[in-house]
Copies of this chain bind each other. A is one copy, B any other.
Amino acid sequence: MFSKTCEYSIRAVIYIYKKSVESECKVSVKDIATNIQSPEHFTAKILQILSRQDIISSAKGPNGGFFMDVHQGEMNLLEVVKAIDGSRLFTGCVLGLSKCDDKVPCPIHAQYKPIRDKMNLMLSSTTIESLATKLDSGLVFLSK
Contacts and interface: CB of A to CB of B under 8 A. Distances in A.
Given A2-B94, A122-B112, A122-B115, A107 B14 contact: yes
Contacts of A107: 14, 131, 134-135, 140-142
Contact of A111 (B4, B106, B126): B126
A141 B97 CA distance: 9
* Copy total for this chain: 2
A118 interface: yes
A100 B140 CA distance: 9
Nearest to A125: B111
A108 B7 contact: no
Nearest to A18: B107
A86 interface: no
Interface of A: 1-2, 4, 7-8, 10-11, 14, 37, 77, 89, 94-100, 104-112, 114-115, 118-119, 122, 126, 131, 134-135, 139-144
